[in-house]
A = this chain, B = another copy of it.
Amino acid sequence: MDPTLVLSRIAAQMKPSPIRELFKLTAQPGMISFAGGLPDPAIFPVAELAGCAETLSRDGSAVLQYGASEGYGPLREVLLPMMRARLGRDVRGEELLVTSGSQQALDLVARALVDPGDVVVVEAPTYPGALHTLRNVGARFAAVPCDAEGMRVELLGAAVARCEAETGKRPKLVYSIPDFSNPSGACMSLERRKRLAAIAEELHVLVVEDDPYGLLRYKGASIPPLASVAAGSPWVLYLSSFSKVLAPGLRVAWAVGAPELVRAMVVLRQGVDLCTPNVTQSLAAEYCRRGHLERHLARIVGHYARKRDDMARSLSAEIPKGALEWDEPEGGFFFWLRLRDRDSGELFKRAIAEKVAFLPGNAFYPDPGEQVGEVQQGTARARLCFTFADATQTTEGCRRLARAL
């Protein structure tokens, strides 16, 4: 063997992720950042969570020991009724898996199902972290365009057929964020959810429904999750998380899916990290058990609704008329701007020079070379996160953005 083979393989793996490089640029001093999709630390329930650390003293010998790969018992007891309420159906223990962030759930299901070169369907645009996870298992992408009502589900059948024609196989999974998509903020209509559930059932393609934002709705009426519309179909794997509604520093999330799939993920993860820490799970369980979560949710929905309004007002006031267009999101974390004739990569550079950061649209699409079928791109798009910056920064950031334009 060439002695450099191992190191060159390592070097190939570490080709810098483009988004990581972007984030480095956004971390300069004096920068106002709308780039990261971060919750507002000002609204973290620090005192209440610190109070829940009582579980460490009370249940120390269980909390500090190795845990079950399926999750810590007391947290599972909190999550099951929570999921019954959210999905509007009985959810059994064998359908539930606690994970270290939803990222891990996606990683596990991708490792269980996807072989290198397999195609997965993603929305265009979609969450860059999901693209990264799916890339790690060697996936290629069929990108289905989105509009104000989310994934254009009517194009999914053709995408699947094209994938079958090109590769001889159906896509291994469909990754979707129906509620308040990252980055587009769009909420998939009920009609499309029904159609998506029917397609999954008919074609036997697994849909991974990522739902970190579903409870963060600031206006309009809720639409049931796809996993609820699909009424317990084994072809929907539902993911949710405490990261956006409580605190990402806990890294506690969960998946609800077909028992066979959940068991496969459990067996895999015993070689991945054994289990999510009992310590963080017990904090989350205690927090919910004390009834804090409902109160906190009401508080953050109001808080983020105001921040969304701040951002909308600042954009309207500061951005020259017609230079940018956007739809006001009804929930979630993001404004997804249309730049008309501007290239968002070029605007990003000018914005960084003006000390304001966002994420350019192409970060939310697979690279053209990774796509099968019609290539989607986000050159004239930009994502602004409105939850992290405070009101003053939001106004000033939009002013700087106007200068960059």
Please give the residue numbers on chain A whose beta carbons come within 8 Å of chain B beta carbons, in ascending order: 1, 3-7, 9-11, 13-14, 16-17, 20, 36, 38-39, 41-42, 44, 46-47, 49-50, 53-54, 56-57, 60-67, 100-101, 103-104, 107, 111-113, 129, 132-136, 164, 169-170, 172, 204-206, 234, 243, 247-252, 260-261, 263-264, 267-268, 270-280, 283
Query: What residues on B are CB-neighbors of A64 within 8 Å?
Result: 41, 44, 46, 49, 247-250
Q: A206: nearest residue on chain B (CB-CB)?
A: B6
Name the contact of A261 in the complex, choosing from B10, B36, B47, B170 (C-beta under 8 A). Answer: B10
CA distance A206 to B263 in the complex (A): 32
Query: What residues on B are CB-neighbors of A248 within 8 Å?
Result: 64-66
Q: How far is the CB of A82 from chain B (nearest CB, A)?
A: 20
CB <8 Å contact, B251 and A133: no
CA distance A273 to B101 in the complex (A): 6
Name the contact of A274 in the complex, choosing from B13, B67, B251 (C-beta under 8 A). Answer: B251
CB <8 Å contact, B61 and A57: no
CA distance A260 to B12 in the complex (A): 10
Query: What residues on B are CB-neighbors of A7 within 8 Å?
Result: 204, 234, 260
Query: What residues on B are CB-neighbors of A252 within 8 Å?
Result: 277
CA distance A261 to B11 in the complex (A): 8
Q: How far is the CB of A332 from chain B (nearest CB, A)?
A: 17
What are 21 A-B residue pairs whose CB atoms fall within 8 Å in the complex?
A: A1-B169, A1-B170, A6-B172, A11-B264, A13-B267, A14-B260, A44-B61, A44-B65, A50-B57, A64-B248, A65-B247, A65-B249, A66-B248, A100-B273, A101-B274, A132-B271, A134-B271, A136-B268, A136-B272, A251-B276, A273-B273
Query: What residues on B are CB-neighbors of A63 within 8 Å?
Result: 249
Quick one: copies of this chain in the complex?
Answer: 2
Query: What residues on B are CB-neighbors of A62 within 8 Å?
Result: 41, 249
CB <8 Å contact, A271 and B103: yes
Name the contact of A50 in the complex, choosing from B53, B129, B206 (C-beta under 8 A). Answer: B53
CB <8 Å contact, B56 and A136: no
Query: What residues on B are CB-neighbors of A6 within 8 Å?
Result: 113, 172, 204-206
Name the contact of A249 in the complex, choosing from B66, B164, B260 (C-beta under 8 A). Answer: B66
Q: How far is the CB of A106 from chain B (nearest CB, A)?
A: 8
CA distance A244 to B274 in the complex (A): 15
The winner among A62, A261, A274 for most chain B CB atoms within 10 A is A274
Query: What residues on B are CB-neighbors of A268 within 8 Å?
Result: 13, 136
Knowing A10-B112, A107-B273, A272-B104, the reply to whether A16 touches B65 (Cβ < 8 A) is no
CB <8 Å contact, B10 and A113: yes
Query: What residues on B are CB-neighbors of A260 within 8 Å?
Result: 7, 10-11, 14
Query: What residues on B are CB-neighbors of A113 within 8 Å?
Result: 6, 9-10
CB <8 Å contact, A57 and B65: no
CA distance A44 to B264 in the complex (A): 32
The winner among A17, A277, A283 for most chain B CB atoms within 10 A is A277
Query: What residues on B are CB-neighbors of A107 within 8 Å?
Result: 271-273
CB <8 Å contact, A274 and B129: yes
Query: What residues on B are CB-neighbors of A44 within 8 Å?
Result: 60-61, 64-65
CB <8 Å contact, B14 and A132: no
The 6 A-B pairs at the shortest CB distance, nearest first, are namely A46-B60, A53-B53, A41-B61, A64-B247, A133-B271, A132-B271
Query: What residues on B are CB-neighbors of A272 within 8 Å?
Result: 103-104, 107, 133, 136, 272
CA distance A346 to B154 in the complex (A): 59
CA distance A268 to B104 in the complex (A): 12
CB <8 Å contact, B275 and A20: no
CB <8 Å contact, A129 and B61: no
Knowing A65-B248, A249-B67, A263-B14, the reply to whether A274 touches B103 (Cβ < 8 A) is yes
Query: What residues on B are CB-neighbors of A11 within 8 Å?
Result: 260, 264
Name the contact of A270 in the complex, choosing from B17, B38, B251, B276 (C-beta under 8 A). Answer: B17
